[in-house]
Amino acid sequence: MNNPSKPFSRRSFLAGASTLGALYASSKFASIPALAETLADDPRIAKQPIADKGFASIRKIGDGLYATIADRSKGLQARCNGGFLIGRDAAVMVEGFQTTTGAAFQLETLRTVTQLPVRAAINTHWHFDHTLGNSVYGGAAIPIWAHADVPARMSAVYPKWQGEELSTFLAPWEKRAAEAKTDTQREHAKSDIEGLTGMFKPVSETVLALPNHALDPAKMPIKVDLGGLTVVIDSYIGHTDTDLIFRVPEQNVVYTGDLLTGGQYPVNINGYPTRWRATLANFATFDKNTLFVPGHGQLMGQEGVAEMRSCFDDIAEQAEKSYKAGVPVEEAVERYVVPDRYKNYRQFSWGFTIGRTIEQLYAEWSGKPVHILNYS
């Protein structure tokens, strides 16, 4: 088995990639600063991190508030952002990351700041890159909280992958690439294979630790009092049907999970684009000084929400033109043109970002059922 900290070497990947592949690669490996330029003078945010492992750094972003910001150019041990919140009596942590290394880094760093009990480690949603490090928390007797449906979603997909060979799993996707009618279609199909491999491998190498404390969305928002610091947990639909956000209203800080991401196309593998856009419209009504800790990308303010909304708008506008012109959905997916302003956006893969979004919008417009938990 490969070393999980080095899923593939940059050189071998680039050597086998076409021009389009190289474009994906260059945006994938570009290092990003931990915060957006617009926040350079935000007094809430510490200039220096309290810990930095390369693959992620952790910095203070408020009174008792810390953000873990992943840098995928230096490794995928964290892959997603997270953080921790500390009151007078207790702390909570955000995210389980992609590996136990990422989760251990966050827990160890928390312990350099406080010895207070950790009431919970909370997963923002069920995806592998937010949950695979959970066993570290389990081992430290920290309860793992999540939306009530997270264990079922994880159980429906990941154990199946763990019992399967990568080649079997990828077979239908390899077939699509082989049967592609155009070069772009083939490149896009290959990007899907790459994205799928990047999910399958970490899942197959990890002992799953499911959340053991269910948060009922019907009872939200839930207030958690950490002693002088109140965290409001709320449920939204969008990136998945298990998305949670954590708000600290007194400080205008929000941890959003993947409902908000920066520098990349929205990953819509299990998403609900229309409700997701409504959720982002809701974020836009939050205070203008809100500091967002997104699921991926830099710390951002409201301009980050606006940018993600306009990216969604662009996909929807291009799709709608195709739809109204009677263009079949498979062709509409291929016809989408990445505007210059998103040229540097990372794409998890073409199919799981742009493709699934257009497919789902088409299905909604034509009143067809949409399959969400679908990896083939």
Quote the CA–CA distance of 276 and 218 in Å, as a whole number. Answer: 18
Report the alpha-carbon angle 116-117-121, nearest 5. 120
Least gap, CB of 310 to Zn ion (angstroms): 21
Tokens, residue 129: 């890159």
Please, which residue, 60 or 127, has the CB nearer to Zn ion? 127
Least gap, CB of 258 to Zn ion (angstroms): 4
The answer to whether 305 touches 280, Cβ cutoff 8 Å, is: yes
Quote the CA–CA distance of 69 and 33 in Å, as a whole number. Answer: 9
Name the 3-class secondary structure at 270.
coil
297 φψ region: left (φ > 0), alpha (ψ -120 to 50), beta (else): left
Least gap, CB of 184 to Zn ion (angstroms): 26
Least gap, CB of 254 to Zn ion (angstroms): 17
Residue nearest to Zn ion (CB): 127
Q: By CB under 5 A, tell whether 188 contacts Zn ion.
A: no
Quote the CA–CA distance of 362 and 355 in Å, as a whole number. Answer: 11
Please, which residue, 185 or 268, has the CB nearer to Zn ion? 268
Q: What mask of x and - would describe binding to Zn ion in positions 249 to 288, judged by CB under 5 A? A: ---------x------------------------------
Q: Which of 53, 59, 72, 127 binds Zn ion (CB under 5 A)?
A: 127
Give the end-to-end CA distance of the chain in Å, rounded to a whole number.
Answer: 24
Least gap, CB of 257 to Zn ion (angstroms): 7
Tell me, by CB under 5 A, how many residues bind Zn ion: 2
Please, which residue, 127 or 176, has the CB nearer to Zn ion? 127
Least gap, CB of 143 to Zn ion (angstroms): 22
Contacts with Zn ion in 201-260 (CB under 5 A)? Answer: 258
Which residue stretch of 31-39, 81-89, 121-129, 192-200 sits at the interface with Zn ion (rule: CB under 5 A)? 121-129
Quote the CA–CA distance of 241 and 147 in Å, as a whole number. Answer: 9
Please, which residue, 92 or 269, has the CB nearer to Zn ion? 269
Name the 3-class secondary structure at 352.
helix
Quote the CA–CA distance of 172 and 184 in Å, as a whole number. Answer: 18
Please, which residue, 127 or 201, has the CB nearer to Zn ion? 127
Please, which residue, 87 or 351, has the CB nearer to Zn ion? 351
Quote the CA–CA distance of 64 and 145 in Å, as a whole number. Answer: 20
Least gap, CB of 166 to Zn ion (angstroms): 21
User: Which ranges in 30-165 belong to alpha helices (H)?
Assistant: 100-113, 128-131, 134-139, 150-162
Quote the CA–CA distance of 175 and 179 in Å, as a whole number. Answer: 6
Which residue stretch of 120-128, 149-157, 311-319, 337-345 sits at the interface with Zn ion (rule: CB under 5 A)? 120-128
Which residue stretch of 41-49, 107-115, 125-133, 358-366 sits at the interface with Zn ion (rule: CB under 5 A)? 125-133
Please, which residue, 145 or 323, has the CB nearer to Zn ion? 145
Quote the CA–CA distance of 212 and 138 in Å, as a whole number. Answer: 9
Binding residues for Zn ion, rule: CB under 5 A, are: 127, 258
